[in-house]
Amino acid sequence: MNRILLTRVLFWIALAFCLTPWASPPIALAIGLAIGLTLGHPYAAFNKRATKVLLQVSVVGLGFGINLQQVLSASRDGVVFTIATIVGTLVLGWLIGRMLGIDRKTAHLISSGTAICGGSAIAAVGPVLDAGESEMSVSLGTVFILNSVALFLFPAIGHMLDLSQTQFGIWAAIAIHDTSSVVGAAARYGEQALGIATTVKLARALWIVPLVFATSLLFRHGGAKVSLPWFILYFLVASVLRSYIPLVADISPTIVAIAKIGLTITLFLIGAGLSRRMLSTVGARPLVLGVLLWIVISTVSLWAVTTFLH
């Protein structure tokens, strides 16, 4: 059996395992990382599109498990934290980027991904910056590596500090970059944390719009196409249907169960997409910037939720 065939066979076996009850988001991510860093992704050309679509569909499915009335209060609690951390992260990223001698565009991309929602923010801001392929790759690689670490690290810290479901949900939504890792970490922590984290994170993602326009003004690149996360609207629609239509509420557990399987598969695919080449392109200084920003936003938001939320 040649290497390509062996890689494909192992890939499909691992993917099938993600459909079983024994799989979880962290386990799926770890298996994906093992394949991506050793054998390589056998379908790399299709991975980005597949993970994007599957993640969005899964998030919408999770909306059927959320009672809108119960979660709105927690979502409001996260608004002040959201505004403060977004502005603070962007300013701090600019300062540290200058100190480290990092290209201005790369520093802004990493800061944007850290401040709002990882790869989605980077993908939206990149065309406005007229960022090149290398700048996009470095920024996405930096954020992706930290997302992978957060998925394993945050639930452990939450349990160690005995955070409530509300505290962990809001903390994860603010301090973890991508929606996939936020949902994965919160799902591991608890059902209530999952609902809160998903809602707050998607509300946070709406800040992509003002970020894109502010970037256009700061970097003087007008006329760029703005990419809006429309799946957020469908998530809200799903939550409304589940909250006010009894028939939908009755079938929502089945939909949510399927959505969680979709999330597990998504994280497996994301892990498989991390290659040694991507690691080599990140470099030391952008990774240092990403780590420093991540530590600051994680620490400040953790202090905020433990101080002001109970």
Task: For residue 229, give the nearest of 189, 178, 295, 290 by alpha carbon.
Answer: 178
Binning pLDDT at 50, 70 and 90, where does residue 74 land?
Answer: low
The residue type found at 32 is G
Residue 111 has what pLDDT? 92
Angle formed at CA 29 by CA 202 and CA 228, multiple of 5 degrees: 25
Residue 75 has what pLDDT? 54
Residue 157 has what pLDDT? 95
Residue 303 has what pLDDT? 92
Lowest mean pLDDT segment, chosen from 13-27, 74-88, 193-207:
74-88
Q: Examine the pLDDT at 254 and tell me if it is beyond 70.
A: yes
Greater confidence, 280 or 8?
Answer: 8
Q: Examine the pLDDT at 134 and tell me if it is beyond 70.
A: no
**Whole-prediction pTM:** 0.72
Residue 16 has what pLDDT? 92
For the stretch 168-217, pLDDT in tens is 998 998 889 887 789 889 988 988 898 888 888 877 777 777 887 788 77
Look at the chain and report how many structural domains it folds into: 1
Binning pLDDT at 50, 70 and 90, where does residue 160 land?
Answer: very high
For the stretch 271-287, pLDDT in tens is 788 777 766 766 778 88
Residues 108-114, mean pLDDT to the nearest whole number: 90
Q: Examine the pLDDT at 33 and tell me if it is beyond 60.
A: yes
Residues 15-19, mean pLDDT to the nearest whole number: 90
Q: How far apart are CA 7 and CA 51, in angstroms?
A: 19
Q: In terms of residue numbers, what domain contains 183?
A: 3-308
